[in-house]
């Protein structure tokens, strides 16, 4: 039995609280059960070197866990002097996923940084970061549009992510930390509002998996991301772009 009698194909309780930060250009406190990530988006007027004088914008992400977010305290990455491979891998995934639904040319030569700081980690922090990061990004894009009088919002679809895995032979949606630790196969899926796939990652943790098993996970992820995107739509509808102006 899963915690709280959850069904195998059910998400945990999802919350998306937009506008929780006073100074950021966009923000969202996202919860997937006990996993809680503070996503904030900041507009900058400079772009990475390779885009200078291109007229095109950029969206990037950074990811970190607070030291006491886990069951065992983790050392701050600054103490070791560099980000771990895991953090770099996750923030590259978040950035790619968000850029998949952004029209970078419409942004003009500006950058939005989406910071995903994990306050509490109970599995699925990267998928929560993408799902909540989209809301923070959306808010910042509204502010960008207002401030620079852009003809259109530079976002062309929704994007959300969810994990699936095979635990003791059973495919399950949205694994919590304990399930994830026991999974034979662990996977993450990033999908858009119009049904396209942005990213698939599947990893055999203990034994290789079969094509059929993988297709079951893909199907569960489809159900999960549809539900997540419906929640995103509600939040987006409630955002009053006027309130973003300073």
Query: Could you give the CA distance from residue 235 to residue 246 in angstroms, rounded to a whole number?
Result: 21
Query: Which residue in this structure is represented by tokens 């079969």?
Result: 210
Nearest to 185 by CA among 133, 160, 220, 159: 220
- Round to whole Å and give the CA distance between 18 and 27: 6
Residue 17: phi and psi, rounded to 5, are: -105, 110
**Smallest distance from a second copy to CB 108, Å:** 19
For 35, other C-beta atoms within 10 Å of its C-beta total 24
Instruction: Give least dist CB 127 to a second copy, A.
Output: 16
Interface residue with a second copy, options 1, 48, 207, 240 (CB under 8 A): 207
**23 counts as binding a second copy under rule CB under 8 A:** yes
> Is the CB of 14 or the CB of 121 nearer to a second copy?
121
Q: Which stretch binds a second copy (CB under 8 A): 2-10, 41-49, 147-155, 234-242?
A: 41-49
Q: How far is Cα 29 from Cα 169, in angstroms, rounded to an integer?
A: 33
Task: Show contacts with a second copy in window 127-186 (CB under 8 A).
Answer: none
* Contact positions vs a second copy (CB under 8 A): 21-24, 27, 34, 38, 40-42, 44, 62, 64, 66-71, 73, 76-79, 81-85, 88-89, 91-92, 96, 100, 113, 115, 117, 119-122, 187, 191-192, 194-204, 207-211, 214, 218
């Amino acid at each position: 039995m899963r915690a709280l009698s959850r069904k195998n194909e059910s998400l945990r309780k999802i919350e998306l609280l937009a506008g929780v930060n006073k100074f950021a250009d966009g923000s969202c406190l996202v919860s997937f059960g006990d996993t809680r990530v503070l996503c904030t988006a900041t507009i900058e007027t400079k772009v990475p070197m390779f885009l200078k004088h291109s007229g095109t914008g950029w969206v990037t992400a950074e990811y970190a866990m607070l030291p006491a977010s886990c069951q065992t305290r983790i050392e701050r990455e600054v103490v070791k002097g560099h980000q771990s491979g895991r953090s770099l891998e996750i923030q590259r995934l978040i950035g790619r996923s968000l850029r998949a639904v952004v029209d970078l040319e419409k942004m003009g030569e500006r950058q939005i940084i989406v910071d995903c700081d994990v306050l509490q980690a109970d599995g699925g922090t990267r998928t929560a970061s993408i799902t909540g990061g989209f809301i923070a990004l959306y808010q910042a894009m509204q502010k960008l549009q207002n401030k620079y009088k852009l003809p259109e919002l530079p976002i062309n679809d929704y994007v959300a992510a969810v994990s699936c895995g095979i635990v003791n032979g059973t495919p399950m949606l949205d694994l919590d930390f304990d399930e994830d630790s026991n999974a034979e196969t662990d996977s993450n899926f990033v999908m858009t509002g119009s049904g396209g796939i942005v990213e698939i990652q599947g990893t055999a943790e203990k034994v290789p998996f079969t094509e059929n098993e993988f297709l079951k996970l893909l199907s569960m992820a489809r159900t999960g991301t549809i539900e997540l995107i419906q929640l995103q739509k509600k939040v987006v509808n409630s955002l009053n772009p006027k309130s973003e102006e300073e």
